[in-house]
Structure 1
Amino acid sequence: MPILRQAYALQALRELGRLAPDLARVRANRSLEDSLRSLSEACQTTLGMELETLTLFDARSVVRLFGHAEQARILAHLMDERARTLAEHGDFVGALSDTVYAGQLLMCSRQRFGVHKDAGAADALERELPKPPP
């Protein structure tokens, strides 16, 4: 069973890597609603869960849903992207809230999975996501 969970987490990372350039492009070229919709779709595609539903709960409860640190990292990345989107559209309070939530996700991930696995998740995310253009 752990092998299936690991395969699922790696597939989610690859899917996020495939979607990352599109998310950045949508953030730069479209309305706030379109950008937020793209982030919701990315969360549904990568994690199989609704972004809006996940953000209703505290970070610790959300991390407990996940079987791997990579999943918490993916959600933290999506929350960071949402914070950037909100900031670009002038919602600095919402951006700050999403940034804090992303940090809480990472902290809870380290508490649940340990520093070694969380660091491995960060490395995996770094490998799978394309580098942003300068």
Structure 2
Amino acid sequence: MPSLRHAFLLTAVRELGRSVPDIARTRGSWDACLERIREVCITTLGMEYDTLARFDARSVVGLFAHPEQARILARLVDERARLCEAHGRYADALADSVYAGQLLMCSRARFGLPRDARAADVLEREAGAPSPLPFAGE
């Protein structure tokens, strides 16, 4: 059973890796990008993005059985922050960036630093490292 869960998580991480470039390409369109983030969340985590984003980070991370799931959601929240920044919604971008950081912090608190660090390595290897946000005006 653990190998089945591991295979499911790797599939979810790989799906995120395939989807992140699509999200980045659609950043010009608010609705299309937001819809893509929602689709990826359902595909990878089996839960709705809007529902998860309504709760505090600690409660959301408590729903997950593995740190990779928390990292996937943090990556999607970060993508939404990038979308908000690209559309001049700086307060929303800041709120999403803070929430993504809280998800990661709660993941480390719940799963422990070694497991969360391994999850970060898996996510970066399979989905790629997130590109840095450009500063406003660049």
Flag the 1:48–1:111 CA change in 2: closer, same or farther, 3 A: same
SS at 2:75's partner residue?
Answer: helix
Q: How far is the alpha carbon of 1:2 from its aligned partner?
A: 2.9
Q: Could you tell me which of 73, 76, 82 is aligned with 1:75?
A: 73
Match of 1:96 in 2: 94
Equivalent pairs, count: 132
User: Quick one: which amino acid aligns to residue 76 of structure 2?
Assistant: L
The alpha-carbon distance between structure 1 residues 89 and 108, as it changes in their structure 2 partners (threshold 3 A), is same
Q: CA RMSD in A?
A: 1.6
Query: 1:5·1:67 contact (CA, 8 Å) conserved in 2?
Result: no
In structure 1, the partner of 2:4 is 4
**Partner residue in 2 for 1:106:** 104
In the alignment, the residues of structure 1 paired with residue 103 and residue 10 of structure 2 have an alpha-carbon distance, to the nearest angstrom, of 19
User: Structure 1 CA distance, aligned partners of 2:97 and 2:129?
Assistant: 20
CA shift, 1:3, in A, is 2.7
- Structure 2: segments with no counterpart, 5+ residues: 133-138
What does residue 37 of structure 2 align with?
Answer: 39
Stretches of structure 1 that go unaligned for 5 or more consecutive residues are none
Runs of 4+ in 1 over 6 A off after TM superposition: none
TM-score, structure 2 normalization:
0.90
